[in-house]
Structure 1
Amino acid sequence: MKLLRLLQWLLGTLLGLGLIATTVAVIITPLIFGLLWAPPRPNVEVEQPLPTAQTATSPASTSPAPVKHGRVTYAEGLRVRDRPDREAEALGSIDFEEVVTILERSGDGEWVKVRTQNDLEGWVLAFGIQEQ
């Protein structure tokens, strides 16, 4: 009789601990894995459109366009590419908070051509640049 009660106690304890461990794992696992992936890409809208390639080089313009600067706001920095395309060759990168000169904007508005302080010139995704 004592052996039966001991087995019942042991089985109940193990099942109880297993249930507690499973509940804790179900609650904590999404929290842990949620921290492993990068956050979704921010969708930033530009309040004032930057000049496009066509307007920046317009021959009818008599006065030079004002120099515009921007700051990298994307925490991971931005890749500088040789043309406005995600498959284009990467020329280098720009760090977070780095100030760049804005040269022009692609026709679709998704890309901005910039020049860094180290004279690296190329295209970056516009969502990562905040005009100053």
Structure 2
Amino acid sequence: MILNHPFFFPMNLSNLAKFILGFTLAIALTLGGAVAASLYLVARLTALPPKPEFDSPEASTTTAVSTTPTPEATPEPEPTPEPEPTPDPGLYQARVTWPEGLLLRDNPSYDAGSLGGIAFNETVTVLENAENGAWQRVRSESSNQEGWVVGGNLEEISTP
């Protein structure tokens, strides 16, 4: 009968064991290689760069000693520094109520460039409110930067 031909039933118990063992080894080697390659790449990509080495200032500055005295110039009086202009006192003090903080922009527009950020609970001085109330011009107390923030995210601080 044709179904008893070795082509249809080529495996006996020994051949079946060899097939299962070979298949298992192939899977194990493939997984082991993938794990080893990923560990190698992770180690290479997370390694810190070498610490920079700078020339020490003592080693690079060598001066020749002169034996002839040099006449000292009379010191000129220092000019008195001009007093810094006092910043605009603004409308009122407020604090940021938006939990993620606010983006400080150079114009009252969502398309405007970013100047920095103002953290949650940070104190700012409100300098101007836009006509429609959607934007407020503020000055950050910590960085002294001025810019525009989206309105409605500040809470006025009551002054005693």
TM-score, normalised to structure 1, is 0.49
Larger radius of gyration: 2
TM-score, normalised to structure 2, is 0.41
